[in-house]
Structure 1
Amino acid sequence: MSVEKRRHIHQFDAIRGIAALAVMLSHYVLIFANSSSSYYKNLSSIIASLSYSPLGIFWAGRSAVLLFFVLSGYVLFVMINNASVNYIQFLLKRGLRLYIPYLFAVFLGIVGEYLLYHGKLSGLNPWVNQFWSGSITTKSIFDLLLFIDAFDTNRYDFTIWTLVQEMRISILFPAILLFMRGKKWWISIVIFFTVSTLSMAIRILALSGWKLLPWLTLSGSFTAYIFTPYYIFAFVLGATLASQRKPLQKWYSRLNTQGRISMFIIGFSLYYYGPHFISSIGIHHLVVRDWPAVAGAAILLVVSAYDMVAIKTLTRPVFLYFGKISYSLYLLHAVVLLAMLHAFYGVIPLPVLLPLSIGVTFLLSDLVYRFVESPAINISRTLSR
């Protein structure tokens, strides 16, 4: 059955699961960076060398986050375009779907810090030791409850900044689609790309010392409000792919085998090697390094949507399982990693502790999917009706 005749695209679930794994592994890799231990330094050097091989895609966390955003734009377009729901129903369905598992993950993070944090972990780098290091305060909890405000997400679960941006853009998305309607697809791409670039130019100026609305540009780290228009472009690109899925499918079906392989290679190269190339020529600004990864993510989604080899591969049970628990896996892996480090670092060697942490993450993610996430999905569907 063609993509445009289905609302649920199973291979996209698999992609979401693979991306969640990449984000998780990217955080595990960071544990060894800039460590005072010579052993960890050597290990970090080996990982850095492997990062220039195709294997590095398995811990390309930044590209995976951008892939999430492009994919969300695609899925939200299909959801809104095919559903006879009003704006309030849409917000209830989307908000509860994200918020209930989010609250549970934050609760585990607060409990984990309260029970397990006893100071910095000697021998590990500042990146690891920045988390759970502050006191638990009413304000920090209140910030988390507000969800879409600009606040420091590093306090209890450092992955949740993406959910803040996702929910903000979801709130705006029906209006964005209204703006896109009736326009040629490339016009929306140009307009929102310009908005994205301008927003990061404003932030760069603010970081350089210009006093440009600090509450908008600097407050909240990754949840700063200025990042929201920046990431909207990735959502709009995904929505454009969804709006053009019939002509895209027709175009892709005319490609021969060499053309399809070339499409995959181009998408993979932009998605993974694009940011490496930009950095290698001395450009380190986030906005420039993200451009090739976003373009590559869009191409890879096209391939996965219409290529039968990709569809058969991605719809294998193991990948669909990763997709099923992907949201819980994404939310919980940081909490589990910090809990395991603070509970067992120095007692269990890291080469044993980290694989054990991954196993615990999968187990907990499966349980949370069954007993928290699935009920949240059912509640969101019921209330949205």
Structure 2
Amino acid sequence: MSVKEGSSSRFFDRLEALRGIAALSVAVGHSMIWLAFNREQIGATPVWEVSGTQARIARFLISVFSGEAAVDIFFVLSGFVLTASMLGQQLTAGRFWSFSVKRLFRIVPVSWLSLGVVVMYLLSIYPGHSVIAGASDWFTNWYGEPLAAKTVIENAAFVSPWLNPNAWTLKVELIASALLPAMVFAVGRSGMIRTVVLLMATLLVGWMFRADQFGAFHYVYMFAVGIAVFKHGARTTAREQGGAALVIACVAAIVASGACFPLWHPFEADLIIVAASAVLIWMIASGRDNIALSVLDFRWVRFLGRISYSFYLLHFIVLYAIANALLHVVPTPIMLRQPLAVMFLSSVLSIASTIPLAVLSFQYVEKPLTQIGRRISLRWGVPVVS
């Protein structure tokens, strides 16, 4: 979600830019897994065990542009940013419902828009399900069943992410948002003990639900980490920070986690990513200037950050449509011999095609509906910072 509303505009701008990089990572990561390499599902294999030059390059790119790491960053960022709007406030029924309405207006409209785009594609352009030589199991898994009203309703209600797999994270966001006010209230403004108790309790819950990859309780501790970073780190002075080396070390840890673990949120990998993300967010929030963070000030990164939520939800269906077309147009021998080049082409085309759609979504759906949610929230007397 967008993080650019608030008083500390500089670090919120940078955090928004970080979200844009994360959304781009999801797009590139998905673009690298829709073709198989010698029938090998490279996402389940560490980099050093992958066979073949093209497969190794693709696996390395997935490690750098890891969708799993991006999702973890999204959740820690949400905990951090939403805490800014609640820390120190009394937890009342009115504030809770006002916060909930604001979150619903922030999350739901673009999700429903992306669902409408998927339905339009399946009803008008989709050539029908077929298993084509070279396509990965991940790709052929989607849209094999005829579109049914029940499926659309389940996706609109966040019961199922079948029509837009990226939307599974929204269910997590909604459940965590329902829990977040109580967690923020529990830690209070001062003292470390309450924060440690919250972190330990949510980590235990995450470990207990570690096998439930798409379940909200697998990820609640990430929001708690965001709360802790805001409470104890947002006001840290620059002199208490490390420099560019610490930023590079955090990024290296995230990439190494993607390279060494399967790409489906193993608990150990998530812990590494969340810890590194927390340090990065802490450094950004401190306002320190160093060359390793300067990428977050680039205009195109800031732009991508602003449209990142719409981009994140719309990209999968654009990628799927382009990949499906390539499977039907590009001769199978080329697909089998040059899968990396074909997927690189799909990455460029899908990202370039999604950006204008995301701009329209941001301008005419996301932004106005978010403002409506804020106005409703203000009627209940709740400060709006998120």
TM range (shorter): 0.7 to 0.9
- Work out which structure has the larger RCO, using CA pairs closer than 8 Å and 6 or more positions apart in sequence: 2
CA displacement at 1:253 relative to structure 2: 1.6
Q: 1:17 aligns with which of 1, 20, 25?
A: 20
- What's 2:8 paired with? 6
Give, in angstroms, the shift of residue 136 of structure 1. 1.7
Match of 1:178 in 2: 185
Q: Does the aligned pair in 2 maintain the 1:69–1:234 contact within 8 Å?
A: yes
Q: State the 1:117 CA deviation.
A: 4.1
Greater alpha carbon shift after TM alignment, 81-90 vs 302-311: 81-90
CA distance in structure 2 between the partners assigned to 1:101 and 1:246 by the alignment: 30
Letter in 2 for 1:334: F
Q: What is aligned with 1:264?
A: 247
* Counterpart contact for 1:117–1:132, Cα < 8 Å: no
Partner Cα distance (2:154, 2:14) in 1: 35
Letter in structure 2 aligned against 1:14: A
User: What is the alpha-carbon distance in structure 1 between the residues aligned to residue 279 and residue 322 of structure 2?
Assistant: 37
The answer for the alignment partner of 2:3 in structure 1 is none
Who is 2:45 aligned against?
A: none
For the residue of structure 2 that corresponds to 1:108, the secondary structure is: helix
* SS of corresponding position for 1:86: helix
Q: 1:51 to 1:67 in 2, by over 3 A?
A: farther
The 5 Å alignment of 1:206-221 reads none
Q: Does 2:228 match 1:240?
A: yes
Distance in 1 between the 2:15 and 2:67 partners? 17
Equivalence for 1:304: 284
Aligned to 1:152: 160
1:197 deviation in Å?
A: 3.6
Report the counterpart of residue 373 of structure 2 in structure 1: 380
In structure 1, give the amino acid aligned to 2:375.
T
| Residue 35 to residue 334, structure 1, CA distance change in 2 (3 Å) | farther
| Match of residue 66 from structure 1 | 72
Residue 373 (structure 1) shift = 1.3
Q: Could you list the per-position Cα deviations for residues 206-232 of structure 1 after superposition, in whole angstroms to 9, with x for gaps in the alignment? A: xxxxxxxxxxx6xxx72xxxx322211
Instruction: Give distance in 2, aligned partners of 1:152 and 1:200.
Output: 23
Cα contact 2:32–2:62 (8 A) shared by 1: no
AA aligned opposite 1:6: S
Q: Shift of the alpha carbon at 1:354?
A: 4.3
Q: Summarize the alignment of residues 1-385 of structure 1 with structure 2, pairs less than 5 Å apart.
A: 6=8, 9-34=12-37, 36=39, 45-46=52-53, 48-50=55-57, 58-81=64-87, 86-115=95-124, 116-123=126-133, 124-147=135-158, 151-153=159-161, 155-181=162-188, 184-185=191-192, 187-201=194-208, 204=211, 222=214, 227-245=215-233, 249-250=236-237, 252-255=238-241, 259-277=242-260, 286-305=266-285, 306-309=287-290, 310=292, 312-347=294-329, 350=342, 352-385=345-378
1:301 and 1:336 map into 2 onto residues whose CA distance is: 30
Seen in structure 2, the aligned counterparts of structure 1 residues 364 and 78 have a Cα distance that, compared at 3 Å, is: same
Change (3 A) 1:184 1:274: farther
2:384 matched residue in structure 1: none
Task: Please give the secondary structure, in 1, of the residue aligned with 2:146.
Answer: coil
Provide Cα deviations, 1:178-203, integer angstroms capped at 9, x if missing partner. 11126633653454344334444356
Conserved 8 A contact 1:197-1:287: no
Question: 1:31-72: per-residue Cα shift (whole Å, max 9, x none)?
Answer: 1235659xxxxx99445534676x655421111110111111
Return closer, same or farther for 1:88/1:202 CA change in 2, 3 Å cut-off.
Answer: closer
**Gaps (5+ residues) in structure 2?**
1-5, 41-49, 332-341, 379-386
Label 1:274 to 1:194 Cα distance change in 2 as closer, same or farther (>3 A). Answer: farther
Hey, which of these two has a bigger chunk of helix by percent? 1
Paired residues of 2:106 and 2:373 also in contact (CA < 8 A)? yes
Taking a change above 3 Å as real, the CA distance of residues 339 and 274 of structure 1, as seen in their structure-2 partners, is: closer
Instruction: Output one character per residue of 1:123-182: Cα deviation in whole Å (capped at 9) or x when no partner.
Output: 2111101111122222222212323xxx331x2111000111011101111011111126
State the SS of the aligned residue for 2:85. helix
Gap change, CA 1:341 and 1:49, over 3 Å in 2: closer
Which ranges of structure 1 fall in alignment gaps of 5 or more residues? 38-42, 205-216
- Percent identity between matched residues is 24
Distance (whole Å) between structure 2 residues aligned to residue 75 and residue 321 of structure 1: 19
